[in-house]
Amino acid sequence: RECFRLMGVDEAHIDTIANCGVSRSAQYKMAGNSIVVDVLYHIFRTAFIPSERGAGHDLFGASSLIQGEFTKDNPLRVATLCSGYDSQFMALERLHRDFPDFCYERVWYAEHDPESNKPDAEQPQVIAHEALWPNCPNLGDMTKIDWAAAKEKYGEIDLLFYSTPCQSISQAGLQHGFTEGSGTRSSIIWNVRDALKILQPRFACLENVAAMVSKKFKPMFDLWRDTVDGIGYASFAQKLNAKHYGVPQNRDRIFLFSVHKEKNGGEANYNFPAPFPLTKKLQDVLEDSADTKYYLNQGSMCLLLKFF
């Protein structure tokens, strides 16, 4: 529960995940692999809420040239790749709560763990997603999706959010990179190229670890950005840290927000939300009491104290 709070997940959604039959260890893994809801909320707020755009309208900074409003009669149609339990939908739910005139529609998602020996429907992240967002179809393995068929069946989408695997990029991994055709987990990002070409969403957004723009991987990141822009987008990149957007966690991530130029009046601009002071403390997300099974035993304490 504390880990989900550090990812910006609200109590109702935590309860849903906790009661969906997924193990505690799987829940912990899902939280660690997800995106901080608060960061997404402020990205979406500055992109999709007209009153929150441009100088003079928003203390935190906002987009100025993105056209269109997303209301009940014209909802923002959203699809996500490598979705997990979908922090993106959580952020959009919060946006609708705070700005009731804003509406969105969950069109489909794609979630698949290639390392699991279970069918997609029995994988923890899919079980959690189905509990949170019932009746939203899962297209499964994004490397095998027929994008033209998906467009034919589900229609146009406005926002495609892709948070492709970070294992081959992260400093915690072997850093084999995401070069096209390399076969690494992170190289499946190149399947998004075909999705963008065929689906042509008005907006697309990438999230990944900050190491994606490190000295080692910046050339590959720039190549990906140029590829997206070559399809007809204008892309804007920035690292955002969760501690600057209301969550007491030092979690730095790169975001690439892409705006389809032709579908947005021929021009495109996006300013990421500026940071603001953190008022929440770690103790604000901690439980008042914890089960004794989470305590170190006497032997472990003695071993630990030898290092001090």
Indicate which residues carry an active-site annotation. Answer: 166
Q: How many CB atoms lie within 10 A of CB 126?
A: 24
Quick one: which H or E segment has residue 276?
Answer: none
Closest CA to 253 of 193, 164, 141, 126: 164
Please give the DSSP secondary-structure letter assigned to residue 296.
-
**Residues 105, 216: contact at Cβ < 8 Å?**
no
Beta bridge partners of residue 77, listed in sequence order: 105
203 forms beta bridges with 159, 259
- Mode of pairing for the β-strands spanning 203-209 and 159-162: parallel
Q: What torsion do the CA atoms of 259, 211, 78, 150 make, to the nearest 10 degrees?
A: 100
The sign of the CA dihedral 110, 126, 254, 51 is positive
Tokens in use for 125?
A: 């992240």
Are 9 and 40 in contact, with CB atoms under 8 Å apart?
no
Q: What is the spatial distance between Cα 34 and Cα 8, in angstroms, rounded to a whole number? A: 10
Q: Which amino acid is at 46?
A: T
